[in-house]
Amino acid sequence: MRVTRSPLLDDSLPSWRARLVLGLLMVGFIALAGRSLYLQGINKDFYIGKGESRYERVIDMPATRGRILDRHGDVMAVSTPVKSVWAIPEDAKLTPAQTRELAALLDMDSREVSRKLAADRDFTYLKRQIAPDVADRITALKLPGIHFQNEYRRYYPAGDVTAHMLGFTGAEDKGQEGIELALNNQLAGRSGSRRVIKDRRGQIVEDVESIRAPQEGKDVVLALDAKLQYLAYSQLKQAIADHKAKAGGIVILDAKSGEVLALANLPTYNPNNRTKLSGAQLRNRAFTDTFEPGSTFKPFAVALALDKGNVRFDTAIQTAPGRLTIGSATISDAHPHGVLSVAQVIQKSSNIGTAKIALAIPSEDMWTMFDSLGFGQPLKLGFPGEAGGRLRPWKRWRPIEQATMSYGHGISVTLIQLARAYQAFARDGDLVPLSLTRTESVPSVGARVYSQQTAREVRTMLEMAVQPGGTAPKAQVRGYRVAGKTGTANKLEGGVYANKYVSSFVGFAPASDPRLIIAVMVDEPSGGRYYGGEVAAPVFSSVMGGALRALGVAPDDTLKPLQVANIVPAREEM
């Protein structure tokens, strides 16, 4: 049989074609090898970064916030370790029973927990800052997708007693109010960071390295004295209850150093449990609330007149017939006094006597004196919402306005401003800046406002105001000479004076060598009494007596029994 050969087999391929295919294969291989070398050896950072992003994390290492201590080293605020519960919703497949058990431990509604676990996100907080023992109980449940994060929570041992002074921090342990906010930069420190490897469930499987060590916050030593703080708070609270008042405030200053030894306000709140707070509770009234100071302002105008030589301690002032018409307005005294010495004008708290003295002073000089005392501008101690009060430009004063401002109407101040201004009489005529933190040295000289002689003469007048025949015999302290002034002012509502009052008292002791200045304000007393001598002066007496004894200040008066219960205080003029 003859075999026929296909003609296609007789055609031979060109030799160059095989070489071309081989060359193309080699070029492709070299290109792949080069690309592999480029990606793995030269430009490797991009893919390494992509890989690391899937398993490597940089986590914050929180810094411990510094403690807040009182002047004796007692802890007022400290950060304690807590945990926050978070979840990966995709992994948190809980049964209804597990959800209810988790919600009960977190003190949450089970529907709220279910809503958070159903969220379309990779991460969600269930609850921040829970106690470690609660976290341990949740851990024991071994719930899928539920994780914990270490944090710190601020704890305030004194609770509501120091709430307005210390303030509080937020969920991120940053200052929100009070000292916590004012000195946040010093307390907060700086968080650090570490590089770790996590699995897809968020669990750390390897600690790679420390990037930056946390810088712990610094402790702050306050000027505050915890014993005086409690004394001031408790006495103010009792007065608010006794007089059915709306609110109140008290400030204690060291007359020599300007340190704020105590500051309390009511109503208050517990900074350890802020779930139900209102604006009224949060307000640090000593810094944020302004009021017309009433007769507590009279010594300032009288001191300026003494300094200028317009009057002397015993200059006679005619206050009869108990009324004084200025333009179209008439001011009056509650009781006609007739002729009074300048000292008696302060002792009896005469509006007419004070107004006559003030109207002889150029309005610019009077404004300059108010300004130098710190009125009309915040003290800038760092407290949020600190008010400056109202002090209108002197060029716009009418005579009636100058007269009423001399006895504390038509001008507004804060309690802390008023307390500081009385330094001028307690420190022989000068003022030093206030300090929230403990100072190592006592300022020798401050900014001078009055001459030494003037300050001492006014101090004597203020002593007379506390003695029988004055407006505040209930401010006396057994064993100590006390100097101070009452204030009672109607409240402005809608531009009209209402039948509501602010009662106040500002004073210092011992009068022979003043150590403490205390300012008390009671807002809207409604128990039938509203004069400063009846409402605020007794608070001053209790707090000043206890504070002087606690500090070991030697008495400067004979220890004769006080009979203030039988003394009817002179009615101060409003």
pLDDT 10s digits, 486-544: 999 988 888 788 889 999 999 999 999 999 999 999 999 997 899 999 999 999 999 99
> Residue 413 in contact with residue 376, Cβ under 8 Å?
no
Between 215 and 482, residue with greater pLDDT? 482
Specify the pLDDT at position 407: 95
More confident: 440 or 563 = 440
Minimum mean pLDDT range among 6-20, 105-119, 145-159? 6-20
pLDDT at 281 over 60: yes
573, pLDDT greater than 60: no
**Mean pLDDT of all residues in 178-201:** 77
Distances (CA, A) of 60 to 57, 195, 196, 212, 329: 10, 9, 11, 9, 68
- The count of other CB atoms within 10 Å of the CB of residue 351 is 28
Mean pLDDT: which of 285-289, 526-530, 569-573 is highest? Answer: 285-289
Confidence at 195, pLDDT banded by 50, 70, 90: low
Q: Which residue is associated with the tokens 């209850």?
A: 241
Contact criterion met (CB below 8 Å) for 543 and 550? no
With CA atoms as reference, report the closest residue to 332 among 412, 403, 411. 403
Catalytic annotation present for 210: no
CA distances from 360 to 250, 298, 402, 404, 439 (A): 34, 15, 10, 14, 41
Across 386-535, the runs of DSSP E, i.e. the strands, are 430-431, 447-448, 483-493, 496-509, 516-523
For residue 237, what pLDDT band results from cuts at 50, 70 and 90?
A: very high
Mean pLDDT score of the chain, rounded to an integer? 87
Please check the confidence at residue 571 and state whether its pLDDT lies above 90: no
Percent with pLDDT over 70 in the chain? 87
Q: What ranges do the domains of the chain cover? A: 56-88+162-222, 226-271+281-566
Highest mean pLDDT among 203-207, 329-333, 365-369: 365-369
What would the two tokens of residue 191 be?
């968080």
Task: Return the sign of the alpha-carbon dihedral for residues 331, 333, 339, 343.
Answer: negative
HSE, side-chain direction, 13 A CA sphere, residue 72: 8
pLDDT on residue 110 = 84
Q: For the domain made up of 226-271+281-566, give the CATH fold.
A: Beta-lactamase (3.40.710)
pLDDT score of 64: 83
Q: Specify the range with the lowest mean pLDDT, choosing from 34-43, 113-122, 251-260.
A: 34-43
User: Do the Cβ atoms of 168 and 178 come closer than 8 Å?
Assistant: yes
Given a contact cutoff of 8 angstroms between Cβ atoms, the answer to whether 220 and 66 are in contact is yes
**Residue pair 179/186 in contact by the 8 Å Cβ criterion:** no
Reported as a pLDDT band with limits 50, 70 and 90, residue 43 is low
Burial of 556 (0-12, 13-18, 19+ CB in 10 A): middle
Sign of the four-CA dihedral 372, 224, 504, 445? negative
Give the global pTM: 0.83
Residue 565's pLDDT is: 46
Q: How far is CA 168 from the centre of its chain?
A: 9
Task: Indicate whether 567 pLDDT > 70.
Answer: no
In this predicted structure, the answer to whether residue 5 has a pLDDT above a threshold of 70 is: no
Using an 8 Å Cβ cutoff, are 521 and 415 in contact?
A: yes
Q: Is residue 140 predicted with pLDDT exceeding 90?
A: no
Return the pLDDT at 63: 76
The residue among 134 and 565 whose pLDDT is bigger is 134
Instruction: Identify which has the larger pLDDT, 276 or 47.
Output: 276
Rounded to an integer, the average pLDDT of 134-151 is 82
Strand order in the sheet with 192-198: 56-61, 192-198, 204-212
Averaged pLDDT, 327-354: 92
Q: Which of 295, 341, 350, 542 is catalytic?
A: 295
* Spatial separation of the C-alpha atoms in residues 35 and 32, rounded to whole Å: 5
More confident residue, 88 or 391: 391
Radius of gyration of the chain (CA): 37
| Of 355 and 80, the one with more pLDDT | 355
**pLDDT value at residue 47:** 62
pLDDT value of position 225: 97
What's the confidence (pLDDT) of residue 247?
A: 95
Which is higher by pLDDT, 276 or 56? 276
Looking at residue 48, its pLDDT comes to 63
pLDDT level of residue 49 (50, 70, 90 thresholds)? low
Cis amide bond preceding 321, omega within 30: yes
Tokens 């015999």, residue? Answer: 473
> How are beta strands 323-326 and 329-332 bridged, if at all?
antiparallel
At residue 463, does pLDDT exceed 70? yes
pLDDT of residue 324: 92
- The residue-averaged pLDDT of 305-318 equals 96
pLDDT at 58: 60
Measuring CA to CA, which residue among 527, 528, 522, 524 is closest to residue 506?
522
| Residue-level pLDDT at 301 | 96
**pLDDT > 70? residue 20:** yes
Which CATH code for domain 56-88+162-222? Answer: 3.90.1310.10
**Least reliable range by pLDDT among 4-8, 89-93, 126-130, 312-316:** 4-8
Residues 30-51, mean pLDDT to the nearest whole number: 72
For residue 191, pLDDT beyond 80: no
pLDDT level of residue 343 (50, 70, 90 thresholds):
very high
* Higher pLDDT among residues 213 and 53, named by residue: 213
Place of tokens 């968080």: 191
Q: Which of 8-12, 273-277, 299-303, 550-554 has the lowest mean pLDDT?
A: 8-12
Is the pLDDT reported for residue 209 higher than 60? no
More confident residue, 138 or 372: 372
pLDDT band for position 431 (cuts 50, 70, 90): very high
